[in-house]
Structure 1
Amino acid sequence: MRLEATAKEDQYKIWMTDSELKQLERVAANQRDYLIIRLGGRVGLRAFEIPQICPKHVKRTDDGEHYRLRVPEGKDTTGNGGKPRDAYLPKDVEGDIHRFQNAEDIGRNQPLVDLTERGVRNVVKRTATRAAEETGDEDFRHVSSHDLRRRFAQRLLVDRQMNPRVVMAVGGWDSFQAIEPYLNAPTPEVVNQAFEEAELS
């Protein structure tokens, strides 16, 4: 985990690895909290988007092999209200949603996570605190809901070197400028691989 100082005192941008994200998932207090961590870190949802999601927003693609998660009102920088988008929904997270819906008897039109944006942020902070206590890694105490989204973006852009336009579409970023900060911090593994592929190692 790498911490990057921000202009605000005692606030950091956290650059997690997938194994650190898994640690957060493992210490979630319950299935709802686990799903919140998964939706942020694996699907790239913002804290205010998570409470919007209902089971009806899960869609199978025409090929029957993939899923999308309709975000009714994503972030809109134009001032015209939230813009809908179709986030890519990994099969395992679709399974998490389905199991949670069944276990909690949630109707198709009911929110999966019946919390406010603040409630979602609090779940992430509590889970991060638990991760710090269980792992002894105090850096977890600085993890926020946006850091989950940062992990999502970095996984796609840096770790997997995915086409930025695809990442913009599924993550709800309007411009290359908006996703550029996620390109600044390659993991040590990505650096090593780049040099190996360039035969400069």
Structure 2
Amino acid sequence: MVRITDDSGTYTKCILDPYEDELEKLEAAARREDWEREVAVQLMGRCGLRADEVTYPTRERLQWSSSGECWLLEVQGKDTSGGEGKTRDAWVPEDVAENIQRFVSERNRDPDAPIVSVSTSSIRRWVREAARQLAEEGERWARVSSHDLRRSWATYHMVEQGTDVRTMMSIGGWSNYDAIEPYLGEPTEAKIGRSMSA
């Protein structure tokens, strides 16, 4: 179920919970429209990219790290300390790396061209359209935004999985604790259930 964590301001903040199940539904809804939309949703929901970062990565920027034994994607993103943009390596799950490589190959994309080649506003619209498809099963889906994918990703890894904050700051592009703090406080329903049953 989509959980609303804050609707007191201009924007409603939502978390996909349970994260993996709900994200798979959103990916499938995006994929029904186009494969490129699914890839964009995966970059935000499974790799933590901001909507305006999705068009930077190319296939050449997706690299296997033999020392980390994981896929990393070079991203040019926001500097949360207030400076110019900043480059980071975002962690990419194995299945997402495989999907990106298949997509680039089967669509005959140039390896140095953006994996997703649309505007940031189109990426945000794609998320809204996929979420609206799911609104029939739950009206809260209609409130899900592209940033909620990043929020859900960060919350899942830090709160549910216990990934350390420094790792998340590095792969998510947060420069300081103040910038990442909003993602630390909201436990998932599974975490609430486990904690209260103990």
TM-score norm. by structure 1 comes to 0.90
Given the alignment of the two structures, is residue 113 of structure 1 paired with residue 116 of structure 2, yes or no? Answer: yes
Partner of 2:97: 94
For 1:48-197, what aligned pairs fall within 5 Å after superposition?
A: 48-63=52-67, 65-71=69-75, 73-133=76-136, 136-196=137-197
Displacement of 1:188: 2.2
Question: Given residue 13 of structure 1, which amino acid in structure 2 is its aligned partner?
Answer: K
The CA deviation at 1:31 is 0.7
User: Which of the pair has the greater relative contact order for Cα pairs under 8 Å at 6+ separation?
Assistant: 2
Is the contact between residue 46 and residue 149 of structure 1 (CA under 8 Å) also seen in structure 2?
yes
Aligned Cα root-mean-square deviation (Å): 1.5
Contact 2:26 2:134 in 1 (8 A): yes
- Seen in structure 2, the aligned counterparts of structure 1 residues 108 and 166 have a Cα distance that, compared at 3 Å, is same
Segment of structure 1 superposing worse, 76-85 or 43-52: 76-85
Other-structure match for 2:38: 34
The question of 1:13 aligning with 2:13 is answered yes
Distance (whole Å) between structure 2 residues aligned to residue 108 and residue 177 of structure 1: 36
Tell me which amino acid in the other structure corresponds to 1:50. V
Higher alpha-carbon Rg:
1
Whole-angstrom distance in 1 between the partners of 2:8 and 2:49: 22
Using the TM superposition, give the Cα deviation of residue 78 of structure 1 relative to its aligned residue in structure 2, in angstroms.
4.4
Contact 1:6 1:13 in 2 (8 A): no
CA distance in 2, matches of 1:193, 1:163: 20
Secondary structure of the residue aligned to 1:2 is strand
Task: State the 1:6 CA deviation.
Answer: 3.5
Distance 1:123 1:59, change over 3 A: same
AA at the equivalent of 1:138: E
**Aligned residue-pair number:** 192
Gaps of 5+ in 1: none
Q: Does the CA-based 8 Å contact 1:67-1:91 persist in structure 2?
A: yes
Deviates more, 1:76-85 or 1:169-178: 76-85
Quick check: 2:78–2:86 contact (8 Å CA) kept in 1? yes
Structure 2 gaps, min length 5: none
Deviation at 1:79, TM superposition (A): 4.6
* Contact 2:44–2:149 (CA under 8 A) maintained in structure 1: yes
